[in-house]
Structure 1
Amino acid sequence: MSAQEYVTLEQCQQWAISQTSANVQKDLNEQILKTNLNNESSYLFPKLSINGRFSYGNVDVSYPHPWADDVNMARMQYHIGLDFEQVLFEGFRMHFGRQFARLQNEAEIAKIDLSLNEVKDKIVSIYLNLLIVDKQMGIIKSVQNTYDEQIKRLNVMLQEGVIPQNTLSQLEVEALKMQQTYDELQANRESLVSTLEILTGKDFSHTEFLMPNLPDVDNLDTNARLEYKLFDNQMRQMDFQRKIYLSNSLPKVALFATGGYGRPDYQFYLSHPDWYYLAGVTLKVPLIDWARSSGFGKVIDIQKEVLASQEADFRKSNMIAIQEKQNEIVRIEKLIQLDSSITAKYAELTKTYSGQLANGTITVFDYIKQHNDELQSRMNQELHHIQLLKAKYELMALKGIL
């Protein structure tokens, strides 16, 4: 950062985001999504398995018919073969499962983006507090310069015997108090800069923080918050959970084939080993799962009602917060309208008091009080401007625009 003298709020936000693990998390979630999609597609993958069996019975099995006296099943039986199955229709289980996996991934990405918004909010707070401290330090430095000039003038007057020593001492004490306040602000600034450096991974030792422009918040959409996207996502997830469960109650169609070598083969009455095979189509139609599916659907409906009520409560509280923040912005804007006039009046009075102090018509206490009043008015003017900035950024956050 030594080569860059000026920094903006937006730059700090981007640097802070780059320091988080958000991109890594998003990449990992993409890998999880690909794996889940592949797992859901596996329902249509062909299945091939090896099966074998060996058995020995303690009695001979024969047919109880005179014409079948010569037909006896062997006591020792064995076979080894391959079983193959290819699903043709699985009740749309794969389609619904893949859609559900995508929705889960979208929800995780939205949660990561929400965490990034929290980082942005934190940067805004630190950055604006830094600006307030910088403005206060600048104002106090200006007052210190004025005090130094007054102390020099009073020193001359003291040497000429015009004023007593305590008049000069009182102003010197006030100058020391100003230095004390300046040192406190300097320590506060160093703490804020240190925090900002940790969050952004940058060095701000020789950096000036630029004042951001007032954002336009009048025409922003109030429905852009990521929380609304999450509510909608959860609703759709529940719909697909229902569809996935219902798919278990739909007919299933598959090709099958089995073959191998064994004793006996499909001619069970022959005791010699031989090759065998069988192929065909299977159809499975669940008959008693509809009642369970209906109950599961009712549970989903209730969960959706609960989620809808939670969304309504969140929307209501957010609208209240937006209205309160808009009222705060209006209040601060009214204060700012008079700040310039108030500060100008105080500056005129301070100039008058300075001359009166030199003439001895007022005490140094009167001058210090007047100077402190001007100092407070100047600080209020700067504070109100940054408070307005902060309120508008907070309104942007409430509307989901950062």
Structure 2
Amino acid sequence: MIRTIFRRMLAVISCWFITISYTCAQPTVSLTIDACYQLAERNYPLVKQYALLDKTKEYSLTNASKGYLPQINVGGQASYQSDVTQIPISLPNIDIPLISKDQYKLYGEVSQPLTDLFTVRHQKDLIEANNAVEEQKIEVELYKLRERINQFYFGILLIDAQIAQTEILKRDIRSGIDKNDVAIANGIALKTSSNVLQAELLKANQRTIELKATRKGYADMLSLFVNLPVDENTILEKPYTVSLATEIKRPELKLLETQKKTFDVHHKLIDTKMLPRFNLFFQGGYGRPALNMLNNNFDLYYIGGVRLTWNISSFYTQKQEKQLLHLNQNALEVQKETFLFNTNLALKQQNSEISKLEELIQTDQEIVRLRKNVKLSAQNQLAYGTATTNDYLTYINAEDQAKQNLIVHEIQLLMVQYNFKTTSGN
């Protein structure tokens, strides 16, 4: 008998150590909402676009820089013409060669742009400006993640608070069961009266199961965004109440300003197209005839100097191109005004919601205080048989509903405040 008892004690102690070891092996992870913002932006697949943009800009700038280098052209021509230049005189003892009507030319030319250096510089500025626009577009998309993080984060906080309140409800039911058992023992309550409380306890257990299942769904979605395991061991810290700044600092505004800079560069490029172009050149070739038109044999030749080209037709479209840029700039201003209007409208609505929730919370707190007093009185009455189990359940359910309303309104207030912060960009 002693051995059997000793073995059972050893088994219990072993199980206890295993439980403690398992509990210690499950580390508690704590997350803040700001950390979730940062992790979501860092792990979102779109962030890989930054590296692609950097490479694209690097290659584009390298190609544009090649405009500073000498330009090399190779050409050739074979032609037949109906007539050639002839000297219409005949001199004794002088043989004047006749130029062939089939002529051939193969040449290579090296030219060094001089005034095109301004165009190359503006092209590089445009590449930088366009790259900045694309990067800011990514910033705008990443910023939108905050709205989704708010939804998941505060959804989990609300469920955690509801689970905690449900545990309080269970504790009150168990307390009622204990009080009712005293009344049954004293013969002032029926034994079947405890069944009502037991059934209500089972309903509370069902609510906990449902809440935990819903929490898991939110946690799984949040886990995908932050790329970290979020489970029942993960504690989401309740954010502090934030100060509400009405100044709008959204990345969309910076995007519009960045797009404006591209128009400034386009203006410079339009003006640059109006300028005459000078370049140094050297051309060498082989053909028939060469530079000496009186020599009908194949020969080498070269020529070098300074070349001027001026595309006068640029004047035809300069005014219209600048007007188009001006219209696009005006369209950006309209987009900015529309964005600010809609954002301010959303902020006003959220501010009204905040004021409403603050008033509701004050009322909820008073209701909870009153319901709690009624419940405590009913507990004492239950032990003395002056209150039925149905009466007691009515009181504790009323208090539970009041506390649930308070919890919902408190979490909703925090969520609206952080939505306000997200909407304003602060």
Q: Distance in 1 between matches of 2:190 and 2:222?
A: 49
1:237 aligned residue (262, 285, 295): 262
Q: Does the CA contact (< 8 Å) of 2:163 and 2:211 recur in 1?
A: yes
Aligned to 2:176: 150
Aligned to 2:189: 163
Q: CA deviation at 1:138?
A: 0.6
1:279 is the counterpart of 2:304: yes
TM-score by length of 1: 0.90
Q: CA deviation at 1:151?
A: 1.5
1:213 is the counterpart of 2:240: yes
Aligned to 1:42: 66
Q: CA deviation at 1:76?
A: 5.1
Residue deviations 1:296-354 (CA, integer Å, cap 9, x gap): 22222222222212221111111111122222222223333444333222212210121
2:44 aligned residue (16, 20, 45): 20
Q: Does the CA contact (< 8 Å) of 1:91 and 1:250 recur in 2?
A: no
2:407 aligned residue (382, 397, 401): 382
Q: Distance in 2 between matches of 1:32 and 1:368?
A: 69
Q: Distance in 1 between matches of 2:315 and 2:78?
A: 40
Aligned 1:323-334 pairs, distance under 5 A: 323-334=348-359
1:321 aligned residue (346, 361, 367): 346
RMSD: 2.5
Relative to structure 1, is the Cα distance of residues 291 and 59 closer, same or farther in structure 2, using a 3 angstrom cutoff?
closer
Aligned to 2:149: 123
Residue deviations 1:147-168 (CA, integer Å, cap 9, x gap): 1121233234335431234532
For 1:214, what is the secondary structure of its paired residue? coil
Q: CA deviation at 1:282?
A: 1.4
Residue deviations 1:117-142 (CA, integer Å, cap 9, x gap): 12232122211110110010011111
Q: Distance in 2 between matches of 1:395 and 1:65?
A: 97
For 1:73, what is the secondary structure of its paired residue? coil
TM-score by length of 2: 0.86
Q: Distance in 2 between matches of 1:83 and 1:287?
A: 25
Q: Distance in 2 between matches of 1:360 and 1:157?
A: 6
For 2:293, what is the secondary structure of its paired residue? coil
Q: Does the CA contact (< 8 Å) of 2:133 and 2:255 recur in 1?
A: yes
Relative to structure 1, is the Cα distance of residues 59 and 288 closer, same or farther in structure 2, using a 3 angstrom cutoff?
closer
Q: Does the CA contact (< 8 Å) of 2:123 and 2:269 recur in 1?
A: yes
Q: Which runs of 5+ in 1 are unaligned?
A: none
Q: Distance in 2 between matches of 1:40 and 1:146?
A: 76
1:295 aligned residue (314, 317, 320): 320
For 1:62, what is the secondary structure of its paired residue? coil
Q: Distance in 2 between matches of 1:194 and 1:302?
A: 47
Q: Does the CA contact (< 8 Å) of 2:176 and 2:382 recur in 1?
A: no
For 2:197, what is the secondary structure of its paired residue? helix
Give the aligned residue type for 1:95.
R
Q: Does the CA contact (< 8 Å) of 1:55 and 1:76 recur in 2?
A: yes
Aligned 1:74-153 pairs, distance under 5 A: 74-75=100-101, 77-90=103-116, 92-153=118-179
Aligned residue pairs: how many? Answer: 399
